[in-house]
Structure 1
Amino acid sequence: MTTVKPGCFITLEGTEGVGKSTNLRFIESVLEQHQIDYQLTREPGGTPLAEQVRELLLANRDEKVADDAELLLVFAARAQHLDQVVRPAVDAGRWVLCDRFTDATFAYQGGGRGLSRELISQLETIVQRGLQPDLTILLDLPVEIGLSRASQRGELDRFENEKIEFFDRVRNAYLDRAGSDPKRFAIIDASGTLEQVQEQIAQVLNTFLAKQR
């Protein structure tokens, strides 16, 4: 295996329709090329209990979900995920590749729902106890294009059914997060061809990997 820093934590973020699933597989292929022992996971989810919470969060329902209830469910799933998957893997020296993490909470529940960043930060401190990603790749795309792509995937979940203004706020919150932590974030222009997008991702990963040796 390639000799790299053990226990790295990489997250992939972005709004609807940015191509996370496709590019997640590409990131996996890069890690595999470098013979890096990694674990793929996602949020919300990643464990049986957290996946059940994910279903609760995404399901369309007649009952309005209170914003605070949504936020607490997200962090409940995260607490279980960190305890059962992320921390054990990182502590064992494995790399973790996660589809979304707390930046999504600041974007969707903070930006989209308008919940207090201070409140989210308090829950982040309690649940994560200082754990942060080593690298966050943010796939960025104009909201209209992303929603058009997402609509072609089939039935929309509870979040995907939100209005365009919601996703504008989500995107802006993501970009604000990236701007406030440029050392951790790498913004990828996801509006080009798949080859162009993956070329950008490869450059980011190669630079990051070189620093871990």
Structure 2
Amino acid sequence: MFFTLEGIDGSGKTTASKIVVDRLTAEGYDVILTREPGGDRIAEQLRKFILSTENPEITSGTESLLYIAARKQHVDTKIAPAVAAGKIVICDRFMDSTTAYQGYGRNQDVNKIDSIQSLVLEANMPIKTFFFDIAPNKVVSRLNNRGNLDRLELEGLQFQERVYKGYLALVKKYSSRFVVINADQDQESVANNLYNELVKVLKK
């Protein structure tokens, strides 16, 4: 089974996913937690390049293609083999991030981006995507407290608002795949919500 987690920067999905995966593993589930961009050696190198603040001249189109290239590597070497082996794969960000960030956030042609993604991903689609829903203005302080922000995290509130609107559009368009998690809560509550929604699918 393949699940993905989505949300704007600072939404809490990374923290919640680690808590939930530890819990599922303790209960005997064979779970792999991975992330994007990244997930394998080559994709992690692309991640460093894409997100580095030393590369501000990367164009929006190049940025999109680099993310998709990193995803192709990740799917081929890690996600697809793990799913084929019967493991549960939970990925922190996937294709919807590219649509939301590079499509809506960067004001690029969403249909064109999704067409390229569909060619690359083929049948490797998540069965459920959990969207961590929290308004952009509520995560500003979380990001500021992080320090060492990457190139996209430094884009500011207006960029995050465009990304957020993109996610809402995706949730509406793919309502059967998306599950909305209220991320405007404490970490324990958010993690419990994610766990409960995951287990519903696992026990079907």
Q: TM-score, normalised by structure 2?
A: 0.95
Alignment partner of 1:178 is 2:171: yes
Alignment partner of 1:140 is 2:129: no
Distance in 1, Cα, partners of 2:55 & 2:121: 32
Identity between Structure 1 and Structure 2 (%): 38
Q: 1:157 aligns with which of 134, 150, 162?
A: 150
**Aligned in 2, Cα 1:30/1:62: closer, same or farther, shift over 3 Å?**
closer
SS of corresponding position for 1:136? strand
- Match of 1:203? 196
Size of the alignment, in residue pairs?
204
**Contact 1:16 / 1:147 at 8 angstroms: preserved in 2?**
no
**Aligned in 2, Cα 1:82/1:31: closer, same or farther, shift over 3 Å?**
same
Aligned Cα root-mean-square deviation (Å) = 1.4
**Aligned in 2, Cα 1:62/1:35: closer, same or farther, shift over 3 Å?**
closer
Residue 19 of structure 1 deviates from its aligned partner by 1.0
Alignment partner of 1:128 is 2:126: no
- Match of 2:61? 68
Distance in 1, Cα, partners of 2:93 & 2:6: 5
Q: TM-score, normalised by structure 1?
A: 0.91
Distance in 2, Cα, partners of 1:35 & 1:183: 28
- The aligned runs of 1:69-148 (5 Å cut-off) are 69-148=62-141
**Contact 2:130 / 2:178 at 8 angstroms: preserved in 1?**
yes
60-69 vs 183-192, which deviates more?
60-69
1:101-121 CA-to-partner distances (Å, cap 9, x unmatched) read 001001100110011111111
Distance in 2, Cα, partners of 1:63 & 1:43: 20
Distance in 2, Cα, partners of 1:96 & 1:196: 22
Return 5+ residue gaps in structure 1 as ranges: 1-7
1:143-174 CA-to-partner distances (Å, cap 9, x unmatched) read 11112101101121100110211100101111
Residue 16 of structure 1 deviates from its aligned partner by 1.1
SS of corresponding position for 1:126? helix
Residue 26 of structure 1 deviates from its aligned partner by 2.0
Distance in 2, Cα, partners of 1:137 & 1:62: 31
Alignment partner of 1:56 is 2:38: no
1:63-119 CA-to-partner distances (Å, cap 9, x unmatched) read 421000000100110111111001111111111111100010011001100111111
**Contact 1:11 / 1:98 at 8 angstroms: preserved in 2?**
yes
Return 5+ residue gaps in structure 2 as ranges: none
Q: 1:166 aligns with which of 159, 168, 175?
A: 159
